[in-house]
């Protein structure tokens, strides 16, 4: 199993380019099968979640051509099945977007019910409630969600909670329903907007994405388009916090600074210098950072996907910080690993109380999930000595060339497979 081996202590300095948003790409590549014409999507991140999704789409019959590392051409005209294999949903929950896409296009879909995952129980009742409101029947049979409709019709849907996945899934199905749909209490994340923009480029009629009321006028069919995915705000945020944790100075390029405001505000509050440009942001940490309180919230609040990275920065800050996780129930699994590196973290329910220490020390640790894994790498970069991070498959789900981009910023990090390669690394870095 591959691992990262890191010699910490170097401030990250330099420039890093951010790729397209993984979470937008997962939905957009799925929505691309909703037309029988070719669709070209650019700025796709080359990460394992995306590659699994493209395989899932091709297994149901869609034509998927990888034009280059970041561009794919998809044609849904060849689809021969509306039933998705459990192997895919097990690997990536987001293959549940095939429910909305297939239901909208073919008025039926069969997708395995996703189970819980490392960050907690993740129900999809709001997705199903939305499909039912659009006139579909939804049944759970042999572990699968089986949904079908004679015809889909517009509806006025109130979401019980703000859900990115449900907003997108319902938006996809409603794009091809008859009449008008209104989604109230919709998620406002940049990737919800990106999916709406993409569907509109294919001929859909969606207004209000980015606000909490989305209005969709159903159309009969969608058509060909070319589209470029929005920059990944979580990848960008991860490098911002890596710069902060290592007392570095990093220019993060190819981004939309507006999407990063919640993170920028927190970094400034704890004493980082953050400079915004049109499509870049510079994060510079000169002195030891200070404490704060932070609570994860739906966009534009502080993202849950940045909570572990924030906690790592605060584990090195001066004073006691409080981090409250309000979106997922099990998102502090990295705390034990961080404590093995010398951090002082106490978890009470959905709150972490973090007493900043002046130094972390390298240790052997495991990535418990995607974002927590990235956060532990940041801890390793900031720590004194050698850190080995196991289970990096989680990290590779969402970060393209993580080690390479960090090395360009001056980090000493390598991806290795064998234990003896860890020894070699130790000998080399001294």
Catalytic residues, by residue number, are 117
Instruction: Return the range that interacts with ligand UD1 (CB under 6 A); candidates 40-48, 162-170, 338-346, 415-423.
Output: 162-170
Determine contact, residues 98/88, Cβ cutoff 8 Å.
Answer: no
Residue whose tokens read 């790409």: 25
DSSP string, 306-349: GHHHHHHHHHTSBSEEEEE--S-TT--TTHHHHHHTT-EEEEET
- The enclosing H or E element of 206 equals strand 205-207
Task: Determine the Cα angle at 152 with ends 147 and 157, to 5°.
Answer: 90
How far is residue 413's CA from residue 131's CA, in Å, rounded to a whole number?
46
Q: Is the alpha carbon torsion for 21, 23, 25, 27 positive or negative?
A: negative
Q: Which of 67, 77, 87, 161 binds ligand UD1 (CB under 6 A)?
A: 161
Least distance CB 328 / ligand UD1 (angstroms): 6
| x/- letters, 3..42, toward ligand UD1 (CB under 6 A) | --------------------x--x----------------
Binding region for ligand UD1 (CB under 6 A) out of 102-110, 208-216, 246-254, 299-307? 299-307
Task: Tell me the per-residue interface mask from 108 to 137 with ligand UD1, x by CB under 6 A, - otherwise.
Answer: --------------xxxxxx----------
Site residues (CB under 6 A) for ligand UD1, limited to 84-103: 94
**Best CA proximity match to 284, nearest among 295, 296, 271:** 271
Q: Which is nearer to ligand UD1, 154 or 303 (CB)?
A: 303
Between CA 4 and CA 369 the distance in angstroms is 15
Choice from 10, 30, 181, 304 touching ligand UD1 (CB under 6 A): 304
Q: Using the rule CB under 6 A, give the single segment among 145-153, 159-167, 224-232, 257-265 that binds ligand UD1.
A: 159-167
Residue number, 10 or 167, with CB nearest to ligand UD1: 167
Structure tokens at 424: 């070699």
Query: Interface mask (CB under 6 A) for ligand UD1, residues 358-377, using x and -?
Result: --------------------
Closest distance of CB 124 from ligand UD1, Å: 4
> Which of 297, 291, 330 minimizes the C-alpha distance to 311?
291
State in angstroms the smallest separation of the CB of 204 from ligand UD1: 19
**Among the listed residues 110, 194, 232, 305, the single contact to ligand UD1 using CB under 6 A:** 305
Residue 8 or 165 having the CB closest to ligand UD1: 165
Please choose, out of 58-66, 140-148, 242-250, 300-308, the segment that lies near ligand UD1 by the rule CB under 6 A.
300-308
Token output for 378 = 């940041």
Q: Which neighbouring-strand residues pair with 285?
A: none
User: Helix 97-106 and helix 125-133: axis angle, to 10°?
Assistant: 10
Decide: is 140 part of the binding site for ligand UD1 (CB under 6 A).
no
Residue 134 φ then ψ, to 5°: -80, 0
Q: Which is nearer to ligand UD1, 169 or 246 (CB)?
A: 169
Q: Does the protein bind ligand UD1 through residue 163 (CB under 6 A)?
A: yes
Between CA 341 and CA 420 the distance in angstroms is: 22
Residue 415: helix, strand or coil by DSSP? strand
Rank residues 116 and 286 by Cβ distance to ligand UD1 and give the closer one: 116
Size of the site for ligand UD1 (CB under 6 A): 20
Touching ligand UD1, residues 313-332 (CB under 6 A):
327-328
Q: Does 387 bind ligand UD1 (CB under 6 A)?
A: no
Q: DSSP letters of 109-158? A: EEEEPP--BTTB----HHHHHHHHHTT-EEEEETTEEEEE-SS-B--EEE
Q: Name the segment binding ligand UD1 (CB under 6 A); options: 170-178, 273-281, 301-309, 414-422.
A: 301-309
Least distance CB 129 / ligand UD1 (angstroms):
7
Q: What is the Cα–Cα distance from 265 to 370, expressed in whole angstroms?
A: 24
- Residues in contact with ligand UD1 by CB under 6 A are 23, 26, 94, 122-127, 161, 163-166, 187, 303-305, 327-328
């Amino acid at each position: 199993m591959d691992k990262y081996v890191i010699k910490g202590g170097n401030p990250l300095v330099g420039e890093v380019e951010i790729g397209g948003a993984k979470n937008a790409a997962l939905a957009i590549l799925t929505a691309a099968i909703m037309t029988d014409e070719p669709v070209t999507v650019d700025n796709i991140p080359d990460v394992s979640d995306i590659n699994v999704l493209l395989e899932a789409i091709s297994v149901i019959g869609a034509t998927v051509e990888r034009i280059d590392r970041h561009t794919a051409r998809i044609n849904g005209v060849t689809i021969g099945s509306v039933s998705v294999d459990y192997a895919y949903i097990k690997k990536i929950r987001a293959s549940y977007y095939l429910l909305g896409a297939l239901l909208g296009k073919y008025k039926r879909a069969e997708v395995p019910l996703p189970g819980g995952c490392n960050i907690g129980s993740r129900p999809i009742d709001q997705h199903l409630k939305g499909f039912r409101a659009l006139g579909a029947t939804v049944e759970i049979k042999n572990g699968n969600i089986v949904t079908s409709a004679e015809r889909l019709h517009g509806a006025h849907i109130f979401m019980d909670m703000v859900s990115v996945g449900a907003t997108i899934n319902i938006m996809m199905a409603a794009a091809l329903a008859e009449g008008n749909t209104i989604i109230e209490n919709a998620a406002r994340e940049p990737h919800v907007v990106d999916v709406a923009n993409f569907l509109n480029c294919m001929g859909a009629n969606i207004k209000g994405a980015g606000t909490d009321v989305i209005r969709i006028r159903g159309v009969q069919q969608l058509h060909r388009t070319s589209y470029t995915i929005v920059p990944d705000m979580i990848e960008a945020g991860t490098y911002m916090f890596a710069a902060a944790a290592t007392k570095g100075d990093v220019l993060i390029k190819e981004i939309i600074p507006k999407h990063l405001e919640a993170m920028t505000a927190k970094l400034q509050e704890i004493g980082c210098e953050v400079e915004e440009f049109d499509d870049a942001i510079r994060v510079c940490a000169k002195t030891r950072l200070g404490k704060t309180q932070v609570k994860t919230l739906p966009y534009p609040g502080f993202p849950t996907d940045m909570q572990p990275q924030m906690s790592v920065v605060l584990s090195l800050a001066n004073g006691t910080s409080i981090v409250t996780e309000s979106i997922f129930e099990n998102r502090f699994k990295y705390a034990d690993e961080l404590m093995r590196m010398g951090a002082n973290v106490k978890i009470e329910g959905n709150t972490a109380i973090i007493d900043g220490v002046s130094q972390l020390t390298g240790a052997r640790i495991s990535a418990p999930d995607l974002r927590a894994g990235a956060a532990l790498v940041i801890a390793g970069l900031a720590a004194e000595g050698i850190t080995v991070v196991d289970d990096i498959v989680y990290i590779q789900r969402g970060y393209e060339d993580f080690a390479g981009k960090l090395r360009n910023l001056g980090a000493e990090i390598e991806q290795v497979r064998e234990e003896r390669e860890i020894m070699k690394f130790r000998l080399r870095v001294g």
